[in-house]
Amino acid sequence: MSRAAVLLDRVLRWFTGAQHHLRSFAVLRILFGLSILALLLPSARDRALLWGDASFWVDPEARRRGFWTFDTLLAKGSPAAFDLVFLALVVLAVLFTIGLGTRVVLPLLLVLLVCLQANNPYVLNGGDTLTRLALLFMLFSNLGAHLSVDALLRRRREAAGRPPRRLVPAHVANAAHNAGLVLCCFQIVVVYAVSGVWKLSGEAWLEGTALFYALRLEAFQVQPLVSELLWQSGLLITAATFVALWTQTLFPLAVLWRPTRAFCLVALVLMHLGIAALLGLWSFSLAMIALDTLFVRDSTWLALRRRLAPALSRLDAGLGALGVRAAAAR
């Protein structure tokens, strides 16, 4: 058998043999749900101005960009209908986060989210675009295998002796799931590579001063005191700038080797947490961190759980003892 045939056989076996990174997809689902709720809940009071009947001021820009406005689902002219659909979107985001009926909830969530975002392009950012693309790819993946209500219900059915119902053959479901995984990973690799190349074209990143100017932007100073303390340290700013630049630029190559992949993922997660805490871009940061977790294998999640198990057991025992003492004191 030729080397190309062997490689093709390995690829086909990988795609159809089993569903990979199920725990990472569970973490991705939860973080995506939280990022969508982080967009919807704080803006609920101003929903009419941002997306509803009072957002007529943005219609010319939406038409210029050629957005499909989905007027039949999120009509701006009917406040009651808009509020009903907005509430449905919040409910779907909650169901998606807890993992209840994900196969049915995800398509509905995606359609309503696109409806909402099409009503006002001014409040969108790169994270919203990435979320829509990833949700489209995730339609093919198994998101409820772990950390979900679906998984809990499935275990109860199995304990009761009721076998799971299969609508499609296992190899087809495996191939669809893994195709969604590959597409999501490819998307985040493209985002980091393009971002790194654009950074290389600017002098501020190569000189190590880009984060200094980012922290000085008044529009994004959520924590002005913390930002001021950070940008006063030239060494910290320069080091953080170069780490952010090269981890993104070299990410497509770094993911091929486990040590460099682990370093890049830790650095990028810390970078996105800093963006969320210092610049207030929580929905964007959560979406990026969620997609980063897809590069963590299930074996790594299991090893992490084993390492944390003793500490969690001691914490649980301590809380139990504290509860017994409190009850005895009463």
DSSP symbols for 259-302: HHHHHHHHHHHHHHHHHHHHH--HHHHHHHHHHHGGGS-HHHHH
How much is the average pLDDT of 164-168?
72
Residue whose C-alpha is closest to residue 293's, from 20, 22, 19, 28: 28
How much is the average pLDDT of 54-72?
65
Residue 102 lies in a domain: yes
Neighbours of 209 (CB within 10 A): 16
| pLDDT value at residue 29 | 92
Confidence of residue 67 (pLDDT cuts 50, 70, 90): low
| pLDDT value at residue 318 | 57
Confidence of residue 323 (pLDDT cuts 50, 70, 90): very low
Residue 225 lies in a domain: no
Inter-residue contact 184 to 137 (CB < 8 Å): yes
Name the burial class of residue 11, with classes exposed (0-12), middle (13-18) and buried (19+) by CB atoms within 10 angstroms of its CB.
exposed
| pLDDT value at residue 240 | 84
Confidence of residue 182 (pLDDT cuts 50, 70, 90): very high
Q: Higher confidence at residue 323 or residue 46? A: 46
Q: Higher confidence at residue 280 or residue 23? A: 23
Confidence of residue 324 (pLDDT cuts 50, 70, 90): very low
| pLDDT value at residue 202 | 76
Does residue 6 surpass a pLDDT of 60?
yes
Does residue 94 surpass a pLDDT of 90?
yes
Residue 271 lies in a domain: no
What is the domain range of residue 193?
11-201
Confidence of residue 233 (pLDDT cuts 50, 70, 90): confident
Does residue 181 surpass a pLDDT of 70?
yes
- Grouping H, G, I as helix, E, B as strand and the rest as coil, residue 257 is coil
Inter-residue contact 280 to 222 (CB < 8 Å): yes
Residue 275 lies in a domain: no
End-to-end CA distance of the chain: 77
| pLDDT value at residue 326 | 46
Does residue 294 surpass a pLDDT of 80?
yes
Give the integer Cα–Cα distance in Å for 123 and 128: 9
Does residue 313 surpass a pLDDT of 70?
no
Residue 133 lies in a domain: yes
CB neighbour list of residue 31: distance below 8 Å, 6 or more residues apart: 286, 287, 289, 290, 293
CB neighbour list of residue 288: distance below 8 Å, 6 or more residues apart: 127, 130, 188, 268, 272
% of the chain surpassing 90 pLDDT: 19
Give the integer Cα–Cα distance in Å for 77 and 54: 9
CA 309 to chain CA centroid, Å, is 26
Least confident residue range of 147-156, 162-171, 239-248, 295-304: 162-171
Residue 305 lies in a domain: no
Give the integer Cα–Cα distance in Å for 21 and 27: 10
Residue 302 lies in a domain: no
Residue whose C-alpha is closest to residue 47's, from 105, 109, 123, 101: 123
Residue 303 lies in a domain: no
Residue whose C-alpha is closest to residue 35's, from 275, 259, 244: 275
% of the chain surpassing 70 pLDDT: 88
Inter-residue contact 211 to 237 (CB < 8 Å): yes
Does residue 52 surpass a pLDDT of 70?
yes
Inter-residue contact 41 to 94 (CB < 8 Å): no
Give the model confidence (pLDDT) of 103-123 as tens digits.
Answer: 899 999 998 888 888 778 777
Amino acid letter for position 293: T
Number of folded domains that form the chain: 1
| pLDDT value at residue 50 | 82
